[in-house]
Amino acid sequence: MTAGPVVIVTGATGFIGGFLTAGLLGAGCSVIALARSGNGRDPGSRIRNLMEFFGIGPGKGPEVVEASLDDPDLGMGRSEARRLGSRADHILHCAADTSFAARRSEQVRRTNVDGLLNLFRTLGGDSHFHHMSTAYAVGSGEGTYTEELADAEGFHNEYERSKHLAERMITGLCGDAGRKLTIYRPSIVYGDSTTGRSLRFNALYYPVRIMVFLRDTFRRDLETSGGSRARRLGIGIDESGKTVIPLTIPHRGGWMNLIPVDYLVASVLRIMESGETGVFHIVNRRENTLDELVEMTGSKFGIRGLRTVLGRRAGGPSPLEVLLDGYIKLYYPYMTDRRRFDDRRTRSVLRGTGVECPGLDSESFGRCMDFAVECGWGSGLRI
């Protein structure tokens, strides 16, 4: 056990929670990970596997406590939860349901709003509460948003709405209880910019994964089965050996705000250390356009024929476009975003620390995608 502050982390088996748990341990904190079973594994083995992923040896990981935010008493009983809450100097709440699908709205709200309420009420204590929100909790408008609670009007999905409601709720709860509160609003998070490592492969990754899947499938058809199915869809191999996949992605301009997880972790740790409260935008001032991402995907995976078009496609979608559209539809607001996030408070804390947000370029994109392919887009991870 280290002598550092005690931090209770929720969502430690998730992407952001996992990287933050490793970061906190590395910073000498004593971490209590609230986790539940999942993917056929108990919380203990999930956390063990997570520590192995980060190269953190046995005995150096967090204390694991099984808990479910769906239960009003977290599934551990109120007195036990109170005892646990009283041990903490900080509570870092990362658990969230990040689905954008309308059909999962109820579950998203239950996890992101009710779950937070259960956590806050049940653990009690007077620790500093840290709430992992999202930059998109500000609503679906345009323009620049500042680091403060927003009066949002519209949302693209229930995820945004629930995070907005959660921010307001936790602000009220902490205010009433006289507890310190810090809200973190990251934009879209991808893998580690230096190693490419990640625990989750949606958002930025998934459209790329689909392209790689299509490339592999149709190359197999072309190389071993005569290629009639590929040719029917206009897919071929050009003289340089690249796979030609004619696929057009319509868009409405705008940009994507992407940050690597290492920047997120470094920022959160510095802000926690500073003791500052309030809202912090953890975002990238160098956004990427859809064109850039399409270009990076094509060149990384040897695919030609991908293009974007401003406005609508001429004609209906091709079968390949149907598949891609199925996913992009929900991410569309984030791929063609017109929101900007003022991060002056974050930069103020980070000033002089050397922590800077790198842009996503072909090199870091390549590293991230190499790792994704290597771990089977997450299927090789056992967390």
Partner 1 sequence: MSLGPLETARSCRHYAMCKIDYLGRGLCPGAAGRYYVSFYPQGRMDLYAAAASGRLPLTPVLAEVARSCTLCGECDMQCHFVQGLRPSAAASALRELVERLTGTREPEEVPSDPFLDGLREIVGDEWASNDPAHLEAYSDDPCPISRRTVPRYVALPATAAETASIVRHCMNKGIDYAVRGNGSSVMGFVLTPGLVIDTARMRWMEFDEEDWCVRVGAGVSSHDLQRAALARGFLVNAAEPAALYCANMVCSGIFSLFSSSLGTCRDNVLDAEFVSPEGEVFRLCAEGGPDLSFFRMEERGAPGICTEATVRLHPLSGDESGILVPFGDFESALEYARELNASGTGLGIGMLGTEYLSSFIAPVAAQAEALRKILPGKLGIEYSVVVLGDGGTLESASRAADAVLSQEVMRCLILGLPSLSDDGISDILAGLEGDEPPYTLLARPEMLPVLEAVLGPSPEKLASAVDEDLRELYREVYRDPSMTDIFMMNAVRSVSSRMGREGHVVAFIVYVPMDDAEAVRDLDLAFADVAASAGVRGEFGFITPLDRGRRGVMEWDMYLDHTDPEQVRRMQGAMAEAAGMLEELQSKDPRFLWIRYLFNQGFCRKETFLYRRAIGE
Positions touching partner 1 (CB under 8 A) are 99-104, 202, 206, 209-210, 213-214, 217-218, 221, 225, 229-230, 232-233, 317-320, 322-323, 326-327, 329-330, 376-377, 379
**Contact status, residue 165 vs residue 133, Cβ threshold 8 Å:** no
Concatenated DSSP letters of 250-284: EE-S-BB-EEEHHHHHHHHHHHHHHT--EEEEE--
Q: In angstroms, rounded to a whole number, what is the distance separating the alpha carbons of residues 295 and 149?
A: 37
Strand-pair partners of 186: 282
Identity of the residue, 319 or 352, whose beta carbon is nearer to partner 1 in the bound complex: 319
Q: How far is the CB of 315 from partner 1 (least distance, A)?
A: 12
Q: How far is the CB of 125 from partner 1 (least distance, A)?
A: 35
Identity of the residue, 192 or 221, whose beta carbon is nearer to partner 1 in the bound complex: 221
Q: How far is the CB of 284 from partner 1 (least distance, A)?
A: 23
Q: In angstroms, rounded to a whole number, what is the distance separating the alpha carbons of residues 202 and 163?
A: 19
Name the amino acid, one letter, at 216.
Answer: D
Place of tokens 């958002």: 203
Identity of the residue, 9 or 230, whose beta carbon is nearer to partner 1 in the bound complex: 230
Q: How far is the CB of 259 from partner 1 (least distance, A)?
A: 21
Q: How far is the CB of 160 from partner 1 (least distance, A)?
A: 14
Q: How far is the CB of 264 from partner 1 (least distance, A)?
A: 22
- Indicate the burial class of 123 (C-beta count within 10 angstroms; 0-12, 13-18, 19 or more): buried
Identity of the residue, 200 or 281, whose beta carbon is nearer to partner 1 in the bound complex: 200
**Contact status, residue 328 vs residue 249, Cβ threshold 8 Å:** yes
**Contact status, residue 94 vs residue 20, Cβ threshold 8 Å:** yes
Q: In angstroms, rounded to a whole number, what is the distance separating the alpha carbons of residues 329 and 254?
A: 15
Identity of the residue, 156 or 347, whose beta carbon is nearer to partner 1 in the bound complex: 156
Q: How far is the CB of 134 from partner 1 (least distance, A)?
A: 16
Identity of the residue, 234 or 275, whose beta carbon is nearer to partner 1 in the bound complex: 234
Identity of the residue, 157 or 364, whose beta carbon is nearer to partner 1 in the bound complex: 157
**Contact status, residue 310 vs residue 336, Cβ threshold 8 Å:** no
Q: How far is the CB of 82 from partner 1 (least distance, A)?
A: 34
Identity of the residue, 79 or 312, whose beta carbon is nearer to partner 1 in the bound complex: 312
Half-sphere exposure of 161 (CA within 13 A, CB side): 16
SS (H, E, C) 88-134: CCEEEECCCCCCCCHHHHHHHHHHHHHHHHHHHHHHCCCCEEEEECC
Identity of the residue, 220 or 344, whose beta carbon is nearer to partner 1 in the bound complex: 220
Residue 2: its H or E element:
none
Q: How far is the CB of 207 from partner 1 (least distance, A)?
A: 10
